[in-house]
């Protein structure tokens, strides 16, 4: 009787996972990315150490920094960082403009590797707006803003209508007319009557037309006062809006 022998099965040897090139390439890539990530984001070399602020004007450096700091201090993978690479210049600029209406323009510059430079240009107030019991400021473009301390040497314009921050309520040409009247007559305050400017000196008011040359109207006023030997305090009003000048004494 013949013996039956079963054929032995040959098994292919499994390749060791440690010899897998793709695995090592993946590990290498992850290592390189992690290295550069921690180097640029968490390395002390690129941590913001100084914020220079120039032209802060109406605002203190501390007030500016309180707005800027949250956009410099951030978190990455649960770690706190002040990496200059994570600082968003556009967000800082937008937040400063929103927080301080007196700021006209802001530029934010990264000075590698650890410094930020913030340049601020303030609005220049030219007129004080008196509304209700509050006071606002008007810049050269006619935009309404507000600051803590107001220079009361500026012309005072009393308004009855609503005044909202950021609104442009006067034209540049009207502002220049008010400034010219203020420079030459130094009235205590101004008001507007439709398209006319009313200047108040004591209990006397002077009406100027915005449609006519302001300097010529002032010259006409001074000429009449001199020729007629009239004192301002003796007048009730003086109307320069028409071709003929009208005035009334008390």
Distance of CA 207 to the CA centre of its chain: 35
Which pLDDT does position 8 carry in this prediction? 53
- 25-31: average pLDDT: 76
Range of weakest confidence among 22-26, 98-102, 227-231, 242-246? 22-26
Name the residue ranges covered by the structural domains of the chain: 44-122, 125-249
- Identify the pLDDT of residue 224: 94
Strand-strand pairing, 103-111 and 115-122 = antiparallel
Can you give the pLDDT at residue 13? Answer: 56
Which residue has 């000429």 as its token pair? 223
Query: What was the pLDDT predicted at 74?
Result: 87
Query: 10 Å Cβ neighbour count for 79?
Result: 10
User: Phi, psi at residue 118, to the nearest 5°?
Assistant: -120, 120
The class that CATH gives domain 44-122 is alpha beta
pLDDT tens figures, 63-105:
999 999 999 998 876 789 999 999 999 999 999 999 999 999 9
Instruction: Say yes or no to pLDDT of 2 above 60.
Output: no
| Residue 176 φ/ψ, nearest 5 degrees | -65, -35
Cis preceding-peptide flag for 113 (omega within 30 of 0):
yes
pLDDT digits (tens, 9 = 90+) for 123-156: 999 999 998 788 999 999 999 999 988 888 999 9
Question: For residue 3, what pLDDT is reported?
Answer: 53
Q: What is the pLDDT of residue 32?
A: 77
For the segment 25-51, the average pLDDT, to the nearest whole number, is 81
Give the pLDDT score at 4.
53
pLDDT band at 42 (very low <50, low <70, confident <90, very high): confident
* Residue 18 clears pLDDT 70, i.e. is over it: no
What is the reported pLDDT for 162? Answer: 83
Encoding tokens for residue 64? 């500016």
- Residues 187-197 pLDDT 10s: 999 999 988 99
Is 169 within 8 Å of 138 (Cβ atoms)? yes
What mean pLDDT is reported for the chain?
Answer: 89
Q: Taking the alpha carbons of 162, 163, 169, 172 in that order, is the dihedral positive or negative?
A: positive
> For 166, left (φ over 0), alpha (ψ -120 to 50), or beta?
left
The string of DSSP codes covering the chain is -PPP-PPPPP-PPPPPGGG-HHHHHHHHHHHHHHHHHHHHHH-GGGB--EEEEE--TTS-HHHHHHHHHHHHSEEETTEEE-BGGG--HHHHHHHHHHH-TTEEEEEEEEETTTEEEEEEEE--EEEEEEETTEEEEEETT-BEE--SS--TTS-EEEE-S---TT-B-S-HHHHHHHHHHHHHH--SEEEEETTEEEEEETTEEEEEETTS-HHHHHHHHHHHHHHTT--GGGEEEEE-SSSS-EEEE-
């Amino acid at each position: 009787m013949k013996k039956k022998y079963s054929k032995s099965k040959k098994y292919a040897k499994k390749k060791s996972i440690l010899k897998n090139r793709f695995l090592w390439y993946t590990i290498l890539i992850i290592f390189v990315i992690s290295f550069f990530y921690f180097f640029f984001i968490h390395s002390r070399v690129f941590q913001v150490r100084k914020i220079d602020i120039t032209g802060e004007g109406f605002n203190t450096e501390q007030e500016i920094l309180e707005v800027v700091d949250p956009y410099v201090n951030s978190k990455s993978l649960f770690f706190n960082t002040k990496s200059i690479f994570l600082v968003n210049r556009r967000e800082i600029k937008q937040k400063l403009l929103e927080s301080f209406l007196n700021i006209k323009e802001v530029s934010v510059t990264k000075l590698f590797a650890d410094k930020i430079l913030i340049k601020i240009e303030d609005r220049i107030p030219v007129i004080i707006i008196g509304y209700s019991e509050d006071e606002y400021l008007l810049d050269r473009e006619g935009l309404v803003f507000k600051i803590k301390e107001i220079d009361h040497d500026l012309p005072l314009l009393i308004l009855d209508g609503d005044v909202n921050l950021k609104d442009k309520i006067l034209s540049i040409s009207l502002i220049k007319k008010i400034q010219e009247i203020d420079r030459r007559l130094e009235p205590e305050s101004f008001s507007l009557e439709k398209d006319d400017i009313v200047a108040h000196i004591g209990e006397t008011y002077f009406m100027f037309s915005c449609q006519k040359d302001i300097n010529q109207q002032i010259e006409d006023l001074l000429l009449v006062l001199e020729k007629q030997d009239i004192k301002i305090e003796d007048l009730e009003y003086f109307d320069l809006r028409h071709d003929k000048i009208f005035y009334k004494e008390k």
